[in-house]
Amino acid sequence: MPSTPHIAIIGVTGAVGQEFLRVLDQRDFPIGRLTLLASARSAGKKATFRDQSYTIEQLTEDSFKNVDLALFSAGGSISRKFAPIASDAGATVVDNSSAFRQTDGVPLIVPEVNADAMNGISLGKGGIIANPNCSTIIMLVPVTPLHRAAGVERMVVSTYQAASGAGQAAMLELEQQTREVLDDQPPTCEVFDRQYAFNLFSHNSDIGDDGYNTEETKMVRETHKIWGDPNVGITATCVRVPVMRAHAESINLQLNSPLTADEARDILAAAPGVGIIDDRPNNRFPTPLDASGQDDVLVGRLRNDVSRGDDGRGIDMFVCGDQLLKGAALNAVQIAEKLL
Does 277 lie in the same domain as 228?
yes
- The CB density around residue 33, as the number of other CB atoms within 10 Å, is 13
pLDDT of 2 > 90? The answer is no
Does 142 lie in the same domain as 232?
yes
Q: Is 41 inside a domain boundary?
A: yes
Average pLDDT over residues 62-77: 96
Domain that holds residue 53: 6-130
pLDDT digits (tens, 9 = 90+) for 266-281: 999 999 999 999 999 9
Of 130, 154, 175, the position where a domain reaches its end is 130
Question: Rounded to an integer, what distance in angstroms lies between the CA atom of residue 27 and that of residue 266?
Answer: 27
Does 228 lie in the same domain as 101?
no
Does 145 lie in the same domain as 273?
yes
Q: Is 196 inside a domain boundary?
A: no
Of 82, 113, 130, the position where a domain reaches its end is 130
Does 152 lie in the same domain as 76?
no
Of 81, 115, 130, the position where a domain reaches its end is 130
Q: Is 331 inside a domain boundary?
A: no
Q: Is 195 inside a domain boundary?
A: no
Does 117 lie in the same domain as 157?
no
pLDDT digits (tens, 9 = 90+) for 9-49: 999 999 999 999 999 999 999 999 999 999 999 999 999 99
Our CA angle for 177, 19, 323, nearest 5°, is 60
pLDDT of 67 > 80? The answer is yes
Q: What is the CATH number of the domain that holds 310?
A: 3.30.360.10
Does 75 lie in the same domain as 18?
yes
pLDDT digits (tens, 9 = 90+) for 299-320: 999 999 999 999 999 999 999 9
133 and 326 Cβ atoms separated by less than 8 Å: no
Does 123 lie in the same domain as 157?
no
Question: Rounded to an integer, what distance in angstroms lies between the CA atom of residue 251 and that of residue 176?
Answer: 32
- Number of domains the chain contains: 2
- pLDDT, position 317: 98
- pLDDT, position 327: 96
The identity of residue 255, as a single letter, is L
Does 151 lie in the same domain as 102?
no
Average pLDDT over residues 135-156: 98
Does 236 lie in the same domain as 314?
yes
Does 143 lie in the same domain as 30?
no
Catalytic residue annotation? 134, 247
pLDDT digits (tens, 9 = 90+) for 196-253: 999 999 999 999 999 999 999 999 999 999 999 999 999 999 999 999 999 999 999 9
- pLDDT, position 3: 76
Strand ranges inside 226-328, DSSP E: 233-240, 247-255, 274-276, 297-304, 314-321
Average pLDDT over residues 181-185: 98
C-alpha torsion 146→328→237→204, nearest 10: 180
Q: Is 335 inside a domain boundary?
A: no
Q: What percent of the chain has pLDDT over 70?
A: 99
Q: What is the CATH number of the domain that holds 40?
A: 3.40.50.720
- pLDDT, position 1: 57
Q: Is 333 inside a domain boundary?
A: no
pLDDT of 172 > 60? The answer is yes
Does 215 lie in the same domain as 78?
no
288 and 320 Cβ atoms separated by less than 8 Å: yes
- Burial code (b: 16+ CB inside 10 Å, e: under 16) for 286-315 equals bbbebbbebbbbbbbbbbbbeeeeeebbbb
Question: Rounded to an integer, what distance in angstroms lies between the CA atom of residue 254 and that of residue 150?
Answer: 10
- Rounded to two decimals, what is the model's pTM? 0.95
Q: Is 174 inside a domain boundary?
A: no
Q: Is 190 inside a domain boundary?
A: no
- The CB density around residue 4, as the number of other CB atoms within 10 Å, is 11
